[in-house]
Amino acid sequence: MISLKLPTRHDRGHGGWWLLSALAAVLVLAPAAAIAVIAAEGSGDLWPHLARHVLPRALRDTLLLLGGVGALTIVIGVGCAWLVTAYDFPGRRVLAWALLLPLAMPTYIVAFAYLDLLHPIGPIQSAIRALLGFERPRDLAFPDIRSLGGCILLLGLVLFPYVYLPTRAMFSMQAAGLVEASRLLGAGPARLFFRIALPLAWPAIAAGATLALLEALNDIGASEFLGVRTLTRTIYDTWINRSSLSGAAQIALLMVAIVLALILLERWARRHRHYAASSRQARRLMPERLGRATGWLAFALAAVPVLLGFVLPAGYLLAAALRRVGQVGMPPSILMQAGNTVLVAAIATTVATLIAVGVIYAVRLARGPAMAALARCASIGYAIPGTVLAIGLLTPLAEFDNAVDQAVRRYLGLSTGLLLSGSGAALVYAYVARFLAVATGGIEAGFRRIPRSLDDAARTLGVAPLPAIWRVHLPLIKPAIGAAVLLVFVDCMKELPATLLLRPLNFETLATQLYAEAARGTYENGAIAALLIVIVGLPPVMLLARLGLRPAGDRPAASDRG
């Protein structure tokens, strides 16, 4: 249990930093509080209809989706992490970083690509029928990708790196000593994996699987394209098609309960599982060389997720985009949509980075549980799905707009109208609230590498905190800030649910344009926008690979967001 204390005299000297941290926490918590207020207003006769006819299926599909995606990401992520860590085979070094590539592929883009690839008259089914001698699609029926099973498969192929990253790091460092000792004692491969490596890596697996499930819960594009009615999609339909904000808020509360359950489940799974390695044990695990046949089999097994999760959909997007450009040229609106995307993402990234630097520096200055609690509150937005965040932002923004309008009317006789609601500022707010945790995670890792003796030396020389961060800390954490900027920018570019619900009228981004093209079934027209999003998503993947697969500093652990 965390015990809070009032700010001391030393803390009160940092009033501005306290105020910044408090504002950041309020900005992130306000949407969650607003959802409860909106839901309490009631939705009249709509809720009984939702409870009887809509929610049972939505809740069932959501839980089945989460269960399936969780199982698939754990199997693929843990299996690949163990293969490339414990064994040496042809192509192992390439696959070690290539298994990160699906991270660059948003879930809705993979669904978008596979809908055309696996269409009855698409290239894959046509090639298989030609190979087997069948002429018509009805002569050889394939399972429909537009199903719950198809959605689980595609989300699992994209989200498994969330499990692969922390699990591989745990296998590589934490389990090295025990695994090598077990090998010397004659333990076989199965016993090594199930009795030694898997229990040691369970905390990392639980944290990674929770991140993957939160991403699956946030998804709206893939479930929409594949015909799966999840809670996220139900919120969107209730608000947009039924014009019931309170009904959407009530469903959003149900999603918040699921998010809390996931975080509590992760903490339960990691209970009493704390391991420490001595300096001798902290060396990397030496992989065991496989024979020729088993080595190529291991390569094939580890290559399948890369092929299906990145190479195949990326190749389709490239071919479709080139074909579209060759036929009719670049769509005239693509530059405007790309400009809108970059502009909003850049503003949100700048704001989130500045706030993150201030909040983390405030924790370093105050050194107390109260400031740490404020920073923790400012980081919970990543756990809130984009649709829930968008619903919760409406009331605070409308209250702010009304207050400003009434004040200006009273004193100046003018009307300001809606300043934030339905504007780009609302999008920036949503992006900052949701991805502030990504920025604070990376920047906090950078601050931890700076010894506190530098702070004490600066204070002894009479340098105030603000000049000290400018002259001492920022030059030392530039790499961490650069990585945080890259990750937040890409996350903002890919974000679809909040953008769909909060964007201004006639304001399209690459993600919303792709969503619209997929809804119309014009896949080739959306390929260029999808390819641009994937290309922008590649740099942070390369950055992760260059940093030696260290996810903890770049992405917040699930428990850190709760």
Residue 349, by phi and psi: left (phi above 0), alpha (psi -120 to 50) or beta?
Answer: alpha
Mean pLDDT of 461-472: 83
Higher per-residue confidence, 544 vs 538? 538
* Residue 557 binned pLDDT confidence (cut-offs 50, 70, 90): very low
pLDDT of residue 12: 53
pLDDT of residue 175: 63
Indicate the burial class of 138 (C-beta count within 10 angstroms; 0-12, 13-18, 19 or more): exposed
Q: 21: how many CB neighbours lie within 10 A of its CB?
A: 27
* Residue 3 binned pLDDT confidence (cut-offs 50, 70, 90): very low
Please provide the average confidence, as pLDDT, over all residues in the chain.
Answer: 83
- Percentage of residues of the chain with pLDDT beyond 90: 18
pLDDT of residue 152: 95
Q: 280: how many CB neighbours lie within 10 A of its CB?
A: 8
What is the residue extent of each domain of the chain?
17-549
Among 51, 68, 15, 2, smallest CA distance to 362 is for 15
DSSP class of residue 138 equals G
Higher per-residue confidence, 45 vs 399? 399
Residue 230, by phi and psi: left (phi above 0), alpha (psi -120 to 50) or beta?
Answer: beta
pLDDT of residue 83: 93
Residue 239, CB half-sphere, CA atoms under 13 Å: how many? 25
Whole-angstrom distance, CA of residue 68 vs CA of residue 80? 18
pTM of the model: 0.83
**Number of separate helices (H) and strands (E) present in the chain:** 29, 2
> What does the DSSP assignment read for 153-211?
HHHHHHHTHHHHHHHHHIIIIITHHHHHHHHHTT--HHHIIIIIIHHHHHHHHHHHHHH
Whole-angstrom distance, CA of residue 510 vs CA of residue 218? 18
CA angle at residue 451 from 175 to 368, to 5 degrees? 90
- Owner of token pair 């204390």: 5
For the domain 17-549, what is the CATH code? 1.10.3720.10
Strand-pair partners of 108: none
pLDDT tens, position by position, 203-251:
889 888 988 998 898 888 888 888 898 888 888 888 877 778 888 888 8
pLDDT of residue 548: 55
Across 55-69, 115-129, 225-239, 448-462, which has the greatest mean pLDDT?
55-69
Pairing mode, if any, of strands 288-289 and 87-88? parallel
* Residue 90 binned pLDDT confidence (cut-offs 50, 70, 90): very high
CB-based contact 382:441 (threshold 8 Å): no
* Range in 160-164, 295-299, 450-454 with the lowest mean pLDDT: 450-454
pLDDT of residue 78: 94
Which tokens in the block code for residue 363?
A: 């924790």
Please give the biggest Cα pair distance in the chain.
86
Mean pLDDT of 397-424: 83
* Residue 300 binned pLDDT confidence (cut-offs 50, 70, 90): very high
Q: Does the structure show a pLDDT above 50 at 368?
A: yes
Q: 205: how many CB neighbours lie within 10 A of its CB?
A: 23
Whole-angstrom distance, CA of residue 82 vs CA of residue 87? 8
pLDDT of residue 84: 92
Q: Does the structure show a pLDDT above 90 at 524?
A: no
Mean pLDDT of 191-197: 84
Mean pLDDT of 527-552: 74
CB-based contact 497:387 (threshold 8 Å): yes
Strand-pair partners of 288: 87
pLDDT of residue 556: 44
Whole-angstrom distance, CA of residue 237 vs CA of residue 251? 11
pLDDT of residue 277: 53
Which tokens in the block code for residue 146?
A: 């537009």
Whole-angstrom distance, CA of residue 426 vs CA of residue 498? 10
Q: Does the structure show a pLDDT above 90 at 192?
A: no
Buried b (16+ CB within 10 A) or exposed e, 340-357: bbbebbebbbebbbebbb
Among 353, 364, 352, smallest CA distance to 17 is for 364
pLDDT tens, position by position, 317-367:
899 888 888 887 777 788 888 899 999 999 999 999 999 999 989 888 887
